């Protein structure tokens, strides 16, 4: 299967098999009226008093942000891993990813970018994709509604700012996810930071960085879940076949909403390695049991398991617990990064 074919799930129509048939008249706590992300029941795992204490701690940090990040980063990371309170999450994300610094440095640039005509092909492609982004969410449920208009503006502005990339379809769910939490100008600068720093090179033509990171994921899997790694090798299940959407969309089209919020709290604090950790946990959870691997006795069967991991594996508590307990160090990530980069460079030189 080619890389282009594997990208179809990223840019294609909404997967109707994953959407609930019923749509309610009242949105859930995240703003969904239905669909795969609909969460009808509130899930309280932390007491109100604990939430209040965490909110106060976060407000103190945000008011002294530079000092905390330069002198007490470990405390920031610890609090991100515990989960950022919903009331301060938008501001925390803006500060964590550097979007606030970009906004302060370029206070008027977003509006200026919107005044530019933009590349006609990019504008057409963006418009085609607007209705595909979380169509059951209250922000995007109306065709050409306010949410879709803001999404168009954010994606257009990025395409004008970075014409080398222009518009890459996997940016749309990321931008939509950000818009659910903050005003468009803030979502734009967060998207700039995520696209150019966190996922640097992912949206470039050829997707070489994505393929390299797929190889890094595969190598790390050999350390953390050797039986799963052997199964994937045996059936020639390459990372590009299952992890493309995970990485390009930063898991926005993969995880349940509560899990996604928690993973992004860590992702914006610690960087792309969080996507690796989450992916490793999903792989081990989905294919870890021997009986599952025995049933998935081919490439297509294995991909089917990875496209629909058990709900328990994708759950917030399971995911966060096992991500923090992966036996991987910073040195392991750096070693594999250097090794796979050198391997690809050697392959390119032999051509």
For the cut 90, the answer to whether the pLDDT of residue 107 exceeds it is yes
Residue with tokens 């299952």: 242
d(CA 133, CA 112): 25
Please say whether the beta carbons of 129 and 11 come within 8 A. Answer: yes
State the average pLDDT for the chain: 92
Q: Which residues have a Cβ under 8 Å from the Cβ of 336 and sit 6 or more positions away?
A: 216, 219, 220
Average pLDDT on 88-109 reads 98
Please say whether the beta carbons of 239 and 340 come within 8 A. Answer: no
Q: What is the C-alpha end-to-end distance of the chain, expressed in Å?
A: 22
For the cut 80, the answer to whether the pLDDT of residue 2 exceeds it is no
CATH 1.10.8.270 domain locations along the chain: 75-200
15: left (phi over 0), alpha (psi -120 to 50) or beta: beta
Q: What is the pLDDT of residues 177-220, one digit of tens each?
A: 999 999 999 999 999 999 999 999 999 888 899 999 999 999 99
Predicted model pTM = 0.91
Please say whether the beta carbons of 198 and 161 come within 8 A. Answer: no
Q: Tell me what pLDDT residue 19 has.
A: 41
d(CA 303, CA 74): 37
For the cut 80, the answer to whether the pLDDT of residue 124 exceeds it is yes
Superfamily of 208-349 according to CATH? Ypt/Rab-GAP domain of gyp1p, domain 3 (1.10.472.80)
Q: How much of the chain, in percent, has pLDDT values that exceed 90? A: 82
Q: Tell me what pLDDT residue 205 has.
A: 83
Q: What is the pLDDT of residues 254-287, one digit of tens each?
A: 999 999 999 999 999 999 999 999 999 999 999 9
Average pLDDT on 81-103 reads 97
d(CA 162, CA 223): 38
CATH 1.10.472.80 domain locations along the chain: 208-349
Cα dist from 139 to 30, 108, 145, whole Å: 11, 25, 8
Q: Tell me what pLDDT residue 10 has.
A: 55
Average pLDDT on 16-38 reads 72
Q: Tell me what pLDDT residue 236 has.
A: 97
**Which tokens hold the place of 105?**
């440095």
Q: CATH number of the domain at 75-200, out of 1.10.8.270, 2.60.40.4070, 3.40.50.720, 3.40.50.300?
A: 1.10.8.270
Helix 273-287 to helix 226-234 angle, to the nearest 10 degrees? 80
Please indicate whether residue 310 or residue 37 has the higher confidence score (pLDDT): 310
Q: Tell me what pLDDT residue 47 has.
A: 86
**Which tokens hold the place of 329?**
């160090």
Residue with tokens 């890094």: 216
Please say whether the beta carbons of 267 and 229 come within 8 A. Answer: no
Q: What is the DSSP string of 133-177?
A: S-TTBTTTSSTT-HHHHHHHHHHHHHHHH-TTT---TTHHHHHHH
């Amino acid at each position: 299967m080619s890389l282009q074919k594997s990208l179809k799930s990223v840019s294609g129509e909404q997967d109707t098999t994953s959407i609930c048939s019923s749509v309610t008249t009242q949105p859930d706590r995240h703003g969904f009226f239905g669909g795969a992300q609909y969460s009808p029941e509130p899930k309280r795992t932390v007491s109100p008093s604990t939430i209040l204490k965490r909110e106060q701690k976060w407000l103190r940090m945000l008011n002294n942000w530079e000092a905390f990040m330069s002198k007490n980063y470990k405390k920031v990371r610890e609090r991100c891993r515990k989960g950022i309170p919903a009331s301060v999450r938008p501001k925390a994300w803006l500060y964590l990813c550097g979007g606030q610094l970009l906004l302060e440095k370029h206070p008027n640039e977003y509006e200026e970018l919107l005044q530019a005509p933009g590349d006609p092909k990019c504008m057409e492609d963006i418009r085609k994709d607007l209705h595909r982004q979380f169509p059951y969410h209250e922000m995007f449920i109306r065709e050409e509604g306010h949410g879709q208009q803001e999404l168009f503006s954010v994606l257009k502005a990025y395409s004008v700012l970075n014409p080398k990339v222009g518009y890459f379809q996997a940016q749309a769910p990321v931008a939509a996810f950000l818009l659910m939490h903050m005003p468009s100008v803030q979502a734009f600068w967060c998207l700039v930071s995520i696209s150019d720093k966190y996922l640097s090179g992912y949206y470039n033509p050829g997707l070489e960085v994505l393929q390299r990171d797929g190889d890094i994921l595969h190598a790390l899997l050999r350390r953390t879940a050797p039986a799963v790694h052997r199964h994937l090798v045996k059936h020639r299940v390459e990372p590009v076949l299952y992890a493309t959407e995970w990485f390009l969309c930063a898991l926005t089209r993969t995880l349940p909403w509560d899990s996604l919020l928690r993973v992004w709290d860590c992702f914006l604090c610690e960087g792309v390695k969080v996507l690796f950790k989450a992916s490793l946990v999903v792989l081990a959870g989905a294919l870890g049991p021997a009986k599952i691997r025995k049933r998935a006795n081919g490439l297509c069967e294995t991909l089917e398991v990875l496209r629909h991991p058990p709900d328990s594996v994708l759950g917030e508590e399971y995911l966060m617990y096992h991500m923090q307990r992966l036996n991987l160090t910073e040195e392991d990530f750096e070693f594999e990064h250097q090794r796979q980069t050198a391997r690809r460079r050697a392959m390119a030189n032999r051509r």
